[in-house]
Amino acid sequence: MHALSLGTWWIHVASVIEWSVAIVLIQKRGLTGLALAMIPALISAMAACTWHLYDNSETLRPLVTLQAALTLTGNIALAWAAWQLLNRPAPE
């Protein structure tokens, strides 16, 4: 846990909690596609936190690759979800 300062840990943990709450609230608003598109980014953040939790251990180096892949996947999913929202018919 020495890899990050206490302030940086606070920001990391608060961001994961905030993102989790946002997913729940967005899903409750009926935007399930957007909520699902947010999940890869959440898992990416959890992978990064896990790697830092273990002092950036080289044995956990694959988490860095996983985190990068999930960030890419999440960004694509969120772009797609935003496009779907933009192009959905207006409610009558």
Q: What is the pLDDT of residue 28?
A: 98
How far apart CA 60 and CA 45 sit, in angstroms, is 15
Angle, CA 54 vertex, CA 23 and CA 5 arms, to 5°? 75
Structure tokens given for 28? 């409750």
Per-residue DSSP letter, 28:
H
Q: What is the residue whose two structure tokens read 């860095």?
A: 64
- Please give the pLDDT value at position 4: 84
How much is the pTM?
0.88
pLDDT value at position 89? 86
Digit-by-digit pLDDT tens for the chain (92 residues) are 667 889 999 999 999 999 999 999 999 999 999 999 999 999 999 999 999 999 989 999 999 999 999 999 999 999 999 999 999 887 77
Residues 6+ apart with CB under 8 A from 54: 60
